[in-house]
């Protein structure tokens, strides 16, 4: 296959992105970090974040090392068929194994770089708020942009280099699998950490002792701020890195099959098409990020959204230009093939617009000036139970518009380009992921800045400025989660098509039925798939509950044993609460992470590859509902509490406020632990199924052990 030279556009975009991220880092670090107390608090946060990440990376290195050996030694490097039986050619699978290590390292690098700048930017953003809203916004947004640019730059450099060397997307499968496994650890571990601290801080500090938000006397407040960085910056960055790579990979795998009959040059053009457009999207994000610097507004939320719209418009224009260049420079491409490429470009635009719709939905259901959040706030006047019912109901309602949007996007993109068009729609949804991740990382930076403004004694006026930035950050995070969930679902559907193609070929050779839901094993596979995200969510939320109980006990013990903490004459022991969150998170993330890889393998081995395909379908459908519901319900409860704290409905320290705190406490593990982790789970399970399909086809020809047992029993009786 010919690799078009135009692929260099994506590589250049990745290199420029990393360079700009470094420049932005230097700009942020030159800003004034504030007074001595602010620097001290920021230092606690930085030390806690570094300790957690380093410990997590040590555990990850063991996990990655084991999977590296499995891929190297036990994954078939080549499968062939003689009649109906797959034959294993035993060779060391160096290509995918090395790509797996590179994908893992790239994801870890992007997460670490973004987190380090995040913990440096928080105190500088707080100090910026002493000058103006615009100054505080600039510091926080450029700090967040480091994460956004590092994520996309690392991903594009990795994908482009691997494809240029090996000239097959099958090796990129290893890169994507590495990114996915890291993302799962980062999201699960960071999510458990941050909500352990947040729930503990709210239940004791706010509800029992009536301390203000981020009061320095609260022993869990520093751990809470650490969690914002390890969960929302490093974790979410790894998550979107994973979805971004998976969407590109899915389109490339399908192009290998769908366009196999075309000439080498045209095949190469379709293979690099998703990478090229992702590189163009990165250029659009860069331009949008830089333009925001010169745009001023009194509403930071609208400015973040405006940046997204600018990047979208630039991408649409640049994308069309590069489609024309690609078709014009591809030797021997026919008018019909040119039209196919244009139709798939329109599928990309449809996916991008679908992402905007999902963002609007999240914005509507989570912003404090919209009816759902105000209605949830009013429900708090009736007590804890009613505020839970209200938030729960609005969370369920918020699933409907994205579901309809994705359904329409899938139909239109399928009409335009078949299953390859659906894959390209997923690429389109994440085309401007640089902007999306920048907006997301902005959120925890301003959250920390608000805390440091209070702990550094900057006064109520500055805290109100920081609050305004923080409110926009909460909505930005909700929108980002919507983008991530929608894109992951489209990408997983596209990967499913690729998996089903492989499984379907084997079924056809053997005269099988494929994924027929009337087949009992296939039906059971679908049923187990529906249950998988439910089990995963339950384990994560129970982990938060278990660790939050330890955190609550520690905070109470510190207050009771040392009354000077509440008097403000002695500081609490922040290290103990950080250690509780760290140990608990790293302990509890192991089981969900192992299950995410083990479940699809067990289903494929026991029930067969057709049942495994149905398992993935069931997981996608239930996972989408759970992810959207929990993310939006949690965001709405959070902003309902903040709206009341702004002085509405009686303000702080009222029964209404306490009921809203209960809602926010329930919503915390929903929106920051279980909800956004589900889309990572879906990608990991689908990639596991795809990368290990050759191994599963060796077991009873892909029909699974139960079919073998059934045949043996029928022979006996």
pLDDT tens digits, 513-545: 566 777 889 899 999 999 999 999 999 999 999
d(CA 268, CA 253): 12
Please indicate, yes or no, if residue 298 is contained in any of the structural domains. yes
**Overall average pLDDT of the 246-265 stretch:** 89
Q: Where are the beta strands (DSSP E) in 215-263?
A: none
Please indicate, yes or no, if residue 217 is contained in any of the structural domains. yes
d(CA 598, CA 499): 17
Q: What angle (nearest 5°) sits at the alpha carbon of residue 132, between those of residues 130 and 133?
A: 110
Q: How confident is the model at residue 339 (pLDDT cuts 50, 70, 90)?
A: very high
The pLDDT score that the predictor gives to residue 566 is 85
Please indicate, yes or no, if residue 602 is contained in any of the structural domains. yes
Q: How confident is the model at residue 257 (pLDDT cuts 50, 70, 90)?
A: confident
d(CA 531, CA 384): 29
- The range of the structural domain enclosing residue 700 comes to 5-76+94-716
The pLDDT score that the predictor gives to residue 1 is 56
d(CA 301, CA 198): 24
- pLDDT of 627-671, one tens digit each? 999 988 998 998 898 889 888 998 888 999 989 989 988 998 898
Q: Total domain count for the chain?
A: 1
**Overall average pLDDT of the 677-700 stretch:** 86
Q: How confident is the model at residue 82 (pLDDT cuts 50, 70, 90)?
A: very low
- pLDDT of 266-288, one tens digit each? 999 999 999 999 999 999 999 88
Please indicate, yes or no, if residue 89 is contained in any of the structural domains. no
For residue 550, count CB atoms less than 10 angstroms from its CB and return exposed for 0-12, middle for 13-18, buried for 19 or more. middle
State yes or no: pLDDT of 363 exceeds 90: no
Please indicate, yes or no, if residue 264 is contained in any of the structural domains. yes
In angstroms, how far is CA 509 from the centroid of its own chain? 38
Please indicate, yes or no, if residue 87 is contained in any of the structural domains. no
* Of the candidates 170, 178, 121, the residue with the CA atom closest to the CA atom of residue 154: 178
pLDDT above 70 as % of the chain: 93
d(CA 568, CA 454): 14
Q: How confident is the model at residue 161 (pLDDT cuts 50, 70, 90)?
A: very high
* Of the candidates 232, 379, 374, 359, the residue with the CA atom closest to the CA atom of residue 675: 232
Please indicate, yes or no, if residue 702 is contained in any of the structural domains. yes
SS3 323: helix
The H or E element spanning position 542 is helix 520-561
**Overall average pLDDT of the 285-300 stretch:** 79
What pairs with residue 85 in β-bridges?
A: 82
Task: Judge whether 601 and 688 are in contact, CB under 8 Å.
Answer: yes
Task: Judge whether 452 and 41 are in contact, CB under 8 Å.
Answer: yes
Residue 30 makes CB contacts below 8 A (sequence gap 6+) with: none
State yes or no: pLDDT of 343 exceeds 90: yes
The pLDDT score that the predictor gives to residue 91 is 61
**Range from 121-125, 417-421, 451-455 carrying the lowest mean pLDDT:** 451-455
Please indicate, yes or no, if residue 83 is contained in any of the structural domains. no
Task: Judge whether 136 and 126 are in contact, CB under 8 Å.
Answer: yes
Q: How confident is the model at residue 227 (pLDDT cuts 50, 70, 90)?
A: confident
SS3 296: coil
* Of the candidates 640, 675, 233, the residue with the CA atom closest to the CA atom of residue 471: 640
d(CA 520, CA 681): 25
- pLDDT of 598-633, one tens digit each? 999 999 999 988 899 999 999 999 999 999 999 889
């Amino acid at each position: 296959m010919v690799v078009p030279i135009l692929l260099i556009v994506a590589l250049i975009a990745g290199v420029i992105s990393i360079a700009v991220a470094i420049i932005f880092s230097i700009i942020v670090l030159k800003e004034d970090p504030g007074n001595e107390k602010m620097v001290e608090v920021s230092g606690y946060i930085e030390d806690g974040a570094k300790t957690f990440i380093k410990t997590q990376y040590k555990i990850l290195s063991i996990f990655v090392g084991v999977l590296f050996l499995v891929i190297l030694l036990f994954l078939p490097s080549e499968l062939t068929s003689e009649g109906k039986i797959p034959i294993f050619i035993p060779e060391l699978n160096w290509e995918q194994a090395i790509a797996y290590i590179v994908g893992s390292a790239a994801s870890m690098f992007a997460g670490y770089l973004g987190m380090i700048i995040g913990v440096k930017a928080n105190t500088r953003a707080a100090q910026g708020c002493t000058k103006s809203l615009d100054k505080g916004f600039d510091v926080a947004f450029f700090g967040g942009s480091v994460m956004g640019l590092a994520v996309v730059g690392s991903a594009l450099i990795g994908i482009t280099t691997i494809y240029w060397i090996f000239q097959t997307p099958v090796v990129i499968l290893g890169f994507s699998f590495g990114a996915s496994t890291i993302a799962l650890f980062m999201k699960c571990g960071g999510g458990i950490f941050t909500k352990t601290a947040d729930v503990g801080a709210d239940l004791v500090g706010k509800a029992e002792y009536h301390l203000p938000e981020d009061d320095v006397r609260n022993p869990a407040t520093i751990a809470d701020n650490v969690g914002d960085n390890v969960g929302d910056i490093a974790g979410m960055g790894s998550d979107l890195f994973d979805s971004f790579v998976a969407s590109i990979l899915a389109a490339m795998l399908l192009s290998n099959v769908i366009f196999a009959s075309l000439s080498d040059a045209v095949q190469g053009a379709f293979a690099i098409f998703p990478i090229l457009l992702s590189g163009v999207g990165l250029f659009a994000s860069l331009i949008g990020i830089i333009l925001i610097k010169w745009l001023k507004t009194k509403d930071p939320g609208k400015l973040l959204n405006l940046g997204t719209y600018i990047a979208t418009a630039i991408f649409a224009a640049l994308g069309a230009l590069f489609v024309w260049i690609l078709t014009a420079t591809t030797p021997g491409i026919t008018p019909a093939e040119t039209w196919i490429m244009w139709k798939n470009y329109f599928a990309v635009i449809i996916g991008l617009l679908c992402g905007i719709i999902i963002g609007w939905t999240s914005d509507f259901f989570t912003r404090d000036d919209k009816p759902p959040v105000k209605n949830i706030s009013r429900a708090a006047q009736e007590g804890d139970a009613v505020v839970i019912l209200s938030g729960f109901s609005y969370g369920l309602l918020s699933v409907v518009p994205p579901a309809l949007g994705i359904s329409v996007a899938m139909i239109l993109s399928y009409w335009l380009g078949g299953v390859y068009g659906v894959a390209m729609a997923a690429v389109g949804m994440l085309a401007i992921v640089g902007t999306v991740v920048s907006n997301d990382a902005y959120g925890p930076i301003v959250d920390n800045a608000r805390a440091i403004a209070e702990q550094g004694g900057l006064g109520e006026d500055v805290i109100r400025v920081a609050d305004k930035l923080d409110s926009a950050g909460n909505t930005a995070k909700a929108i980002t989660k919507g983008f991530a969930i929608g894109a992951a679902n489209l990408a997983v559907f596209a990967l499913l098509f690729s998996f089903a193609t492989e499984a379907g070929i084997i079924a056809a050779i053997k005269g099988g039925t494929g994924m027929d839901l009337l087949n009992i094993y296939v039906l059971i596979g679908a049923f187990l798939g529906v249950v998988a995200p439910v089990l995963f969510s339950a384990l994560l939320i129970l982990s938060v509950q278990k660790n939050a109980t330890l955190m609550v006990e520690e905070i109470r013990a510190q207050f009771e044993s040392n009354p000077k903490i509440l008097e403000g004459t002695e500081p609490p022991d922040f290290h103990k609460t950080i250690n509780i969150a760290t140990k608990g998170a790293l302990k509890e993330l192991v089981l969900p992470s192992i299950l995410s890889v083990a479940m699809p393998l067990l289903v494929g081995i026991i029930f067969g590859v057709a049942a495994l395909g149905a398992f993935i379908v069931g997981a996608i459908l239930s996972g989408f509902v759970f992810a959207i519901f929990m993310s939006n319900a949690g965001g709405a409860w959070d902003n309902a509490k903040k709206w009341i704290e702004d002085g509405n409905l009686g303000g702080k320290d009222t029964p209404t406020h306490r009921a809203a705190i209960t809602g926010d406490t329930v919503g915390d593990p929903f929106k920051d632990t279980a909800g956004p982790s589900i889309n990572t789970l879906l990608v990991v399970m689908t990639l596991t199924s795809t990368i290990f399909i050759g191994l599963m086809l060796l077991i009873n020809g892909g029909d699974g052990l139960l079919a073998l047992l059934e045949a043996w029993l029928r022979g006996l009786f």
